Structure 1
Amino acid sequence: MSPDTLVSWLDLLGTFVFGLSGAMLAVRRDLDVFGIAVLSVAAALSGGLIRDMALGATPPAALATSSYLLAALAAGGAAMIAHPRIERFTKPVMVLDALGLGLFAVTGARKALDYGLEPLPAVVLGVLSAVGGGAVRDILVAEIPRVLREEVYALAALLGAAIVVIADLAGLAPTPAAMAGAFAAAAIRILSVRLNWKAPKAPRRRD
C-alpha cells in the first residue's frame, strides 16, 4: 500500500472514530440531533483541518471530498441509533477517543513526512493532528480539553507519531509502522486512564 493510500484510509477511519466519540459525548449531554451532528463533525474534522492548514494542503482533505463529512455524519447517526449498545463498553468515549488519537497521530506524522517536513516537525504535527479534534469537541461542551488535564494524552500521541517517523528514518515499510504507532498511542492512552498514570508536573513551591 502506498503512503498516500495509507494516509487516506487511516484518515477516514480516524474521522469516523473521532466522530463517534463526539456523538457519544453529545448523547451523554442530552443534545438534540443537530447538537449530535455538530459535535460529531467538529471532533471528526478539526484535527485533519489543523494538519492540512499547517501543511498548506489546499483544499484540506476534509473538504476536498464528501467522504470525510459523510463519515462524520454516519458516526453521529450510529451513535443516535446504537448508543445503548456502545455504552455497554467501559468508558466508550475514552476508548473511542484513544483510537482516534492514535490514528490521527500516525496520519499527521505520515502526511508531514510526505510533504517533506523534517522528523521533529513531523512528530509535532502528528501530535497537533491527534489532539485537535478532541480539544474542539471538549470546548464545545464546556469541558477542559483532555490534552490540558493531568492525563497521558499528548504524550501518547507523541509516541505514535514518533514511531512513524523513526520507522521512516530506518527505511521500514510505512503500513506496519503506522499500525504499530496507532496501536501504541491508543494502548498507552487507555492504560494511562485504567492505571491512573499522570503526566509529570513541576514541583510545587514550598514557602
Structure 2
Amino acid sequence: MSLFTLLDYASVLVFALTGALVASRAQLDIVGFCFFACLTAVGGGTVRDVLLDRDPVFWIGQPGYLGVACGAGVLVFLTAHRFESRYRVLLWLDACALAVAVAAGSGVAQTMAQAAPVVVVMGMVTGCMGGLMRDVVSNEVPLVLKQGELYVTCAFAGSVATVIAHAWGADASVAAMACAAVVFVLRAGSMIFGWSLPVYKSRPPRI
C-alpha cells in the first residue's frame, strides 16, 4: 500500500467522523449518519480524481474506503452523546482531516507529474470540497467561508509547502509531513489564537 493510499484512508476516516458528527447535531437516523460520513469522506477525493482523469476514482477502485466511512458513521451514532461539545470536537477533527487530505491531494497530483499550480489546486480541492459538501447539504455556514478564520488559506499554504519541499529534493513522505504540519499549525492557530487574514470591507462610492 502506497503512502498516498494510506493518507487517503486516514483522511476518509477522519472526515467521515466529522460528517457523522454533523449528522448527530441534526439528529438523523443511522442511514443519515452513514450518508453524511460517506459524502464528507470521499467528496474531495472524488472531485480530485475526476479533474485529474484518474480511472477509476479512488473509492470505486477500492470500495473499502466506503466501509471505513460507514464504520465511522456507525461509531459516532453510538457514541456522539458522550461528547459535551460536539461542535468543538468537529472543529478539531476537521483540522486533522484537512491536514491529511491536503497532503494526499497534492501528493497524488505530484506523483502524476502535474505542474506546480495543479498540485496546489488539487491539494486545496481534496482538503476543502468534502467539508464544503457536508456543510451545504446540512444547511450550515461552510467552515471554508466563515469570516475571520483561516481554512482555504491553510490548504493553499500546505499545498505550496509540498511544491517547495519537492523542489528542494525532499522525498514524498517528507513533503507530505511538511504539508500536513503547515496546514494543521495554521488551522490550529486560527482556532486558538484567532489568526486570520485581512478581509475586504466595502466603502461607499466617492462622488
TM-score if structure 1 supplies the norm length?
Answer: 0.92
- What is the Cα deviation at residue 100 of structure 1? 0.9
Task: Tell me which residue corresponds to 1:102.
Answer: 99
In 2, distance between residues paired with 1:87 and 1:191? 23
The 8 Å contact of residues 94 and 190 in structure 1, kept in 2 or not, is answered as no
Shift of 1:90: 7.8
1:1-207 to 2 correspondence within 5 Å?
5-87=2-84, 91-150=88-147, 151-206=149-204
1:175, 1:41 → 2: CA distance?
A: 27
CA distance in 2, matches of 1:40, 1:128: 18
- Quote the Cα distance in structure 1 between the aligned partners of 2:180 and 2:84: 23
**Number of residue-to-residue matches in the alignment:** 204
Quick one: distance in 1 between partners of 2:132 and 2:86? Answer: 23
Structure 2 unmatched ranges of 5 or more: none
Of the structure 1 ranges 122-131 and 169-178, higher mean CA displacement relative to structure 2 is found in 169-178
Structure 2 CA distance for partners of 1:184 and 1:86, relative to 1, 3 Å: farther
Cα deviation, residue 7, structure 1: 0.5
Shift of 1:76: 0.5
User: For structure 1, which segment, 72-81 or 82-91, has the greater mean C-alpha deviation from structure 2 after superposition?
Assistant: 82-91
Question: Helix, strand or coil for the counterpart of 1:75?
Answer: helix
CA offsets 1:125-182 (integer angstroms, 9 cap, x no match): 1101100000000011101222122120000111211111111111112112212211
Deviates more, 1:147-156 or 1:37-46: 147-156
Amino acid at match of 1:102: A
CA RMSD of aligned residues (A): 1.7
Query: What is the Cα deviation at residue 124 of structure 1?
Result: 1.1
Quote the Cα distance in structure 2 between the aligned partners of 1:149 and 1:17.
Answer: 21
Structure 1 window deviating more from structure 2 (66-75 vs 189-198): it is 189-198
User: What amino acid sits opposite 1:27 in the alignment?
Assistant: S
CA contact (8 A) 2:20 2:34 kept: yes
| Consecutive unaligned residues in structure 1, runs of 5 or more | none
Q: Is contact 2:15–2:37 with CA below 8 Å preserved after alignment?
A: yes
In 2: Cα distance, 1:18 partner to 1:60 partner: 18
Letter aligned with residue 114 of structure 2: L
In the TM superposition, what is the alpha-carbon distance from 1:62 to its structure 2 partner? 1.4
Kept in 2: contact 1:45–1:133 (CA 8 A): yes
Q: Percent identity?
A: 30
- Quote how far apart the aligned CAs of 1:89 are: 7.9
